[in-house]
Amino acid sequence: MKKVLMVCLGNICRSPLAEGILQSKIKKDAVFVDSAGTAAYHIGNLPDKRSIEVAHKYGIDITRQRARKFTVKDFDTFDVIYALDESNYQNILILARNEEDTKKVKMILNETHPHKNLSVPDPYYDGQQGFENVFKMLGEACEIIASKL
Ligand code: 4NP
Confidence category of residue 27, pLDDT binned at 50, 70, 90: confident
- Would you say the CB of residue 85 lies under 6 angstroms from ligand 1? no
Confidence category of residue 30, pLDDT binned at 50, 70, 90: confident
Active site residue 97: no
| pLDDT at residue 29 greater than cutoff 90 | no
What's the average model confidence in pLDDT over 57-62? Answer: 98
- Would you say the CB of residue 7 lies under 6 angstroms from ligand 1? no
Other C-beta atoms closer than 10 Å to the C-beta of 102 total 12
Give yes or no for a contact between 26 and 149, defined as CB atoms under 8 angstroms apart: yes
Other C-beta atoms closer than 10 Å to the C-beta of 15 total 32
The reported pLDDT for the residue numbered 104 is 98
